[in-house]
């Protein structure tokens, strides 16, 4: 934000005044500091005249208009970086005899929209078990940052939608997980929770939601949060899932990781990529 400077201009008229000489009160206000530039400290010659007048014991406050320095408040809002770091504006400087201007207020915290914050994100998918029916739903997922803004992985969640034929408490195992960077793999932990989808659809009545945490807390452009999971019923020998009617399942994506918008990415609970079942 540009700092606004207000220049107050008033004609200054004063003859040579000896110390202690009586001065007409009406003329005193024409000698005050109005010629000072706001926040600049004022003209030193004007301040000198004020000192002479003050010596006479008459209205020596002629410099009080130096408070025009309060225009330092134009610093208001100069803070507020894109990540929300609000920094206070600078203090104004008063004119001669005047008080300093108040410090400018901090800039407002900038809140970016979910879509803008994670623009360029996508989810990649591979079916590690591509059978129509299986004891183990096995999937590999990658939440990739293809945008230009760094995201906190703790704000992101991924949802995988399925139909629950087993109707028992499912066990979800994370086979492996990490953040893939340009140079190495970063540490990342993945949590999983199974929940019912309300209202249910023809291809999904449940979903697994994955959250992220760990030492590599920020997902920079070009990086991805990658993991593999397996889901099975409590009785692995008899509990069977039908994948062919699962919304997030695609048997054609069994040989390589590919973009798949039937797996949804959320930021702080808001869908920012993918299409939920309907």
What pLDDT digit, counting tens, does each position of 70-108 carry? 333 333 333 333 333 333 333 334 444 444 444 444 333
* Count of domains for the chain: 2
Residue 180 is assigned to a structural domain of this protein: yes
Q: Which of 79, 111, 143 is at the close of a domain?
A: 111
Average pLDDT across the chain, whole number: 72
Do 34 and 129 share a domain, yes or no? no
Q: Is 20's pLDDT higher than 50?
A: no
Cα separation, 268 vs 192, whole angstroms: 16
Residue 278 is assigned to a structural domain of this protein: no
Relative to beta strand 133-134, strand 241-242 is antiparallel
Relative to beta strand 185-186, strand 171-180 is antiparallel
- Look at the block and give the residue holding tokens 């008033």: 10
3-class DSSP state of 240: coil
Mean pLDDT, residues 26-50: 38
Decide if 277 contacts 205 (C-beta within 8 A). no
Q: Which of 51, 84, 111 is at the close of a domain?
A: 111
Decide if 36 contacts 46 (C-beta within 8 A). yes
pLDDT of 113 reads 53
Do 266 and 141 share a domain, yes or no? yes
Cα separation, 98 vs 2, whole angstroms: 24
Decide if 35 contacts 63 (C-beta within 8 A). no
Do 232 and 129 share a domain, yes or no? yes
113 or 76, which is more confident?
113
Candidates 38, 97, 44; CA nearest to 72 is 38
Do 28 and 125 share a domain, yes or no? no
| Greatest mean pLDDT range, 24-33, 38-47, 92-101, 162-171 | 162-171
* Structural domain harbouring 163: 114-273
Cα separation, 179 vs 177, whole angstroms: 7
Identify the band that residue 124 occupies on the pLDDT scale cut at 50, 70 and 90: very high
Residue 198 belongs to domain with CATH number: 2.60.40.710
């Amino acid at each position: 934000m540009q700092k606004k400077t207000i220049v107050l201009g008033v004609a200054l008229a004063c003859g040579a005044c000896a110390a202690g000489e009586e001065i007409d009160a009406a003329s005193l206000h024409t000698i005050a500091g109005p010629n000072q530039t706001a926040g600049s400290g004022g003209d030193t010659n004007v301040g000198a005249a004020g000192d002479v007048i003050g010596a006479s014991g008459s209205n020596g406050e002629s410099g009080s208009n130096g408070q025009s320095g309060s225009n330092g408040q134009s610093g208001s809002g100069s803070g507020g970086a894109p990540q929300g770091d609000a920094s206070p504006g600078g203090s104004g400087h008063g004119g001669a005899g005047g008080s300093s201007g108040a410090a400018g207020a901090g800039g407002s915290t900038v809140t970016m929209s979910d879509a803008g914050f994670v623009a360029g994100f996508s989810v990649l998918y591979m079916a590690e078990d591509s059978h129509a029916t299986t004891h183990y739903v096995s999937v590999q997922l990658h939440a990739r940052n293809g945008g230009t803004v760094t995201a906190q992985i703790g704000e992101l969640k991924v949802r995988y939608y399925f139909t629950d034929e087993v109707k028992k408490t499912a066990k979800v195992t994370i086979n492996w997980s990490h953040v893939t960077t340009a140079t190495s793999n970063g540490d990342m932990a993945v949590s999983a929770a199974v929940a019912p989808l309300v209202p249910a659809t023809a291809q999904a009545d449940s979903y697994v939601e994955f959250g992220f945490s760990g030492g590599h807390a920020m997902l920079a452009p070009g990086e991805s949060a990658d993991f593999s999971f397996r889901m099975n019923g409590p009785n692995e020998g008899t509990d069977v899932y039908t994948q062919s009617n699962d919304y997030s399942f695609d048997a054609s994506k069994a040989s390589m990781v590919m973009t798949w918008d039937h797996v949804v990415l959320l930021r702080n609970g808001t869908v920012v990529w993918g299409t939920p079942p309907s």
